[in-house]
Chain A
Amino acid sequence: MDDPVAAAAMLHQAQQVQDRTFKAGPKEWLVQMAWAGWVLLFIPPFDFVGGEIWGPVVLASSAAGTIVCYRYYLKGYGRVHPLAPKQWRVWLVWSPWYAAWIVFANVFKDRTPVAATIAAVASAAPLLGYALRNRRRAARQ
Chain B
Amino acid sequence: MSHPRTRLDDVMHQPVRFSIAAALAAAKELEFSAVRDIVEISDSLLSQHAARLEEAGYVHLRKGHVGKRPRTWLSLTPEGRAAFEDHVDALRAIVEAAPT
Contacts and interface: CB of A to CB of B under 8 A. Distances in A.
A23 B31 CA distance: 14
Interface in A11-54: 11, 13-15, 17-18, 20-22, 24-25
B34 A79 contact: yes
B38 A7 contact: no
Given A10-B18, A80-B31, A2 B5 contact: yes
Contact of A24 (B13, B38, B88): B38
Contacts of A78: 31, 66, 71
Contacts of A11: 88, 91-92, 95
Scoring B28, B38, B39, B92 by chain A CB atoms within 10 A of each residue's CB, the highest score goes to B38
Contacts of B26: 17-18, 21-22, 83
B1 interface: no
Contacts, number: 78
Interface range on chain A: under 10, 10 to 19, 20 to 34, or 35 or more? Answer: 20 to 34
A3 B91 CA distance: 10
The 8 closest A-B pairs by CB, nearest first: A4-B98, A14-B22, A21-B26, A7-B94, A18-B26, A81-B29, A81-B28, A17-B22
30 contacts: A1-B8, A1-B13, A2-B94, A4-B94, A4-B97, A7-B91, A7-B94, A8-B91, A8-B95, A10-B15, A10-B18, A11-B88, A11-B92, A13-B19, A13-B22, A14-B19, A15-B22, A18-B22, A21-B22, A21-B23, A21-B27, A21-B30, A78-B71, A79-B31, A79-B33, A79-B34, A81-B27, A81-B30, A81-B73, A82-B28
Interface of A: 1-4, 7-8, 10-11, 13-15, 17-18, 20-22, 24-25, 78-83
Given A21-B27, A25-B27, A81-B29, 20 more contacts: A3-B94, A4-B97, A8-B91, A10-B18, A10-B91, A13-B18, A14-B18, A14-B19, A14-B88, A17-B19, A17-B22, A17-B26, A18-B26, A24-B37, A24-B38, A78-B66, A80-B31, A80-B34, A81-B28, A83-B27
